[in-house]
Amino acid sequence: MTHTGDRHDEAEEALEAINKRTGRNMPQAVATGAVLVVVILICLLIRIDFFVVLIMLFMILGLWELRIDFATAGLHIPLLTLCICSSVSILATYYAPEHFITMMLCIMATILLVTLSASTRINVGTRVSVAVARKLSSADSTARLESSYNNTDQDEGIHQSRLSNVGASMFTVLYIPLLACFLVLPLTFGGHPVAHAVISIFLPALSDIGGLFFGAWFGKHKLSPRISPKKSLEGLLGSMLFSTAGAFAVFASTYGSEVWGSSWWVPILLGVMTGIIGTFGDLCASMLKRDIGIKDMGHLLRGHGGVLDRVDSILLTAPFIALVLFITSL
C-alpha cells in the first residue's frame, strides 16, 4: 500500500510539474482537444456544410467571449448585430456564386452596421454584468493594474467613450468574422474541400502542440518575455516542425505523384508559415489579454481557457493558408 501511495504521489507531482511548465491543465486540455477533433472530423465526413455551420457556431461563441472580455474594460460591442451579420457573412461566403466578392461585400456591410450599433448606448443586461463580475473576480490583480483600461475607482464602474466602442467593434469584425470567412473560402476552390479544411484547422493546432511540447521540455531562449513568458525560440522550432509534418501527411493522403513533382515545396512553406504566423497569433492574443487585464479570453473550453484561446492561431493563419492554396491551385 505504501509503495502504491508513493507512486500515486509521484505521478501527481509529475503531472503538477507538467501543468506548471505548460501553463494549463493538461489532462483537461487533452480531453477537450480530443472531443473537438472528433466533432470536426464527424462534420467533415458527413457533409462539408456541417463544418461551415460549426465554424459559424464557434465564431458566435468567440464573439460572446470577446464581448465579456471587452466589458471588463468598459468597452461595449453590439453582440446581436455582430452575430447576425457574421453568420450571414460565413454562409454567404460559402453558398454565393462569387465567393470572395460576396465575402468582402458582407464584411463591409458588417462594419457599417456594427459601427452604427456600437455608437448607441445599450443596456447590457444582468447576464453580461454577472459574467463580467466573475471575470474580474478571477483576474490577476497585477494584470489589472497593468491594463490600459485600469480604473482605481471600481465602485463607479468603467465606461469608455462611444468612439472607443466603435474602435473595439471594428477590431472585432476584422478579428473574428473576417478571418473566419477565410476558413470557409478554401472550401470553395481546388476540388479538395476536406483536405483544405484539415490544413486550415489542424496545421495551426499541430503548431500549438509542437510549440507547447518543445517549449516545455527544451525552452530556454525566451521569444517575448514581457508579452508571453512561456513562449520560446525552441517552441517556435517545434511549431514549425509539427505543422510541416502535418502538411506532408495531408499532402501524402490527398494528392498524387504528379502534384508532388511540381509542388513538393508547398508543405514546407505551409508548415513553416503556419508555425511562425500561429505563434505570432498567440502573441497577439496575449497582448490583447494583457492590455485588457485578464488571464484567459474565456472559460468555455476546459484546459484551454476559452474558444478564442483555442482558435487565435487558427484565425490569424487562415488568410495566409487560403492564399497559398489558391495561388498553387491545390
**For 5-22, how does the pLDDT look when each residue is reduced to its tens digit (9 = 90+)?**
555 555 555 556 555 555
Q: What is the pLDDT of residue 301?
A: 60
pLDDT at residue 227 greater than cutoff 80: no
Q: Residue 122 — pLDDT band, cuts 50, 70, 90? A: low
Average pLDDT over residues 59-88: 92
Residue 36 one-letter amino acid: L
Which DSSP state fits 302?
T
Residue 300 near residue 276, CB atoms below 8 Å: no
Average pLDDT over residues 64-74: 87
Average pLDDT over residues 318-323: 96
pLDDT > 90: percent of the chain: 46
- In this structure, of 25-39, 62-76, 135-149, 228-242, the range with the lowest mean pLDDT score is 135-149
Ranked by mean pLDDT, which of 43-47, 158-162, 256-260 comes out on top? 43-47
Paired with 232 in beta bridges are 222
Alpha-carbon dihedral of residues 141, 145, 148, 154, nearest 10 degrees?
A: 80
Number of H helices, E strands in the chain: 14, 2
- In this structure, of 117-126, 303-312, 318-327, the range with the lowest mean pLDDT score is 117-126
Condensed to tens digits (0 to 9), the pLDDT of residues 25-55 reads 666 767 777 888 899 999 999 999 999 999 9
Q: Who has greater pLDDT, 92 or 309?
A: 92
Residue 239 near residue 211, CB atoms below 8 Å: yes
Average pLDDT over residues 236-250: 94
Average pLDDT over residues 230-244: 90
Within 10 Å of residue 169's Cβ, how many Cβ atoms?
Answer: 26
HSE of 297 in the Cβ direction (CA atoms, 13 Å)? 22
Q: What is the pLDDT of residue 283?
A: 84
Q: Tell me the pLDDT of the chain averaged across its residues.
A: 82
pLDDT at residue 261 greater than cutoff 60: yes
* Residue 232, SS3 per DSSP: strand
Ranked by mean pLDDT, which of 93-97, 155-159, 228-232, 260-264 comes out on top? 93-97
- CA atoms of 245 and 213, how far apart (whole Å): 15
The whole-model pTM stands at 0.83
Q: What is the pLDDT of residue 114?
A: 95
Q: What is the pLDDT of residue 129?
A: 55
* Residue 8, SS3 per DSSP: helix
Cell output for 128: 453580461
CB crowding 238-255: b at 16 or more within 10 Å, else e: bbbbbbbebbbebbeeeb
Q: What is the pLDDT of residue 155?
A: 40
For the chain, the distance separating the N- and C-terminal CA atoms, rounded to the nearest angstrom, is 60
pLDDT > 70: percent of the chain: 76
Angle at 287 between CA 156 and CA 142, to 5 degrees: 50
Within 10 Å of residue 56's Cβ, how many Cβ atoms?
Answer: 21
Q: Residue 138 — pLDDT band, cuts 50, 70, 90? A: low
